[in-house]
Structures are given as C-alpha cells and as structure tokens.
Amino acid sequence: MAVEDSFVGIASAKAAGLYTVALKQDYDIDQSKADCQIPSLSALLTIV
C-alpha cells in the first residue's frame, strides 16, 4: 500500500502494482488513478 498526494507519486505507486490511497490536498491535482481518496491521514485507519 502507498499513500500519496501527488500525481507523480500516485502514478509511480500504481506502476509498481501497489494499492494506492490518495491523500486529499488543498491544491487541485488529478488523483483519479488512486484506488481511493482520504481527507486526512487519520482516515487511513478505516482502510487498514
């Protein structure tokens, strides 16, 4: 599993075959390739 907040990080994690969680940020980037999105790191506990 990888937790990423950038387009490049998400793309790299997906290319490595990892389940990818996007950490929502204030700036507008495309996080649609991630398996799921979370609003904060504390929300990660609901996934793990």
pTM: 0.86
14 within a domain of the structure (yes/no): yes
Produce one character per residue of 1-37: b if its CB has 16 or more CB atoms within 10 Å, e if not: ebbbeeeebbeebbeeeeebbbbeeeeeeebeebeee
The predicted structure's pLDDT at residue 47: 82
Supply the range of the domain harboring residue 15: 2-43
Within a domain: 39: yes
Q: Is residue 48 part of a domain?
A: no
Q: Answer yes or no: is 12 within a domain.
A: yes
- Tell me how far CA of residue 37 lies from CA of 1, 8, 25, in angstroms: 13, 15, 10
> Does some domain include residue 11?
yes
Per-residue model confidence (pLDDT) at position 34: 97
Tally the domains of the chain: 1
Taking residues 24-42, what's their average pLDDT?
92
Query: Does residue 6 lie within any of the structural domains?
Result: yes
Q: Which pair of structure tokens corresponds to residue 17?
A: 């075959």
In a domain, residue 37? The reply is yes
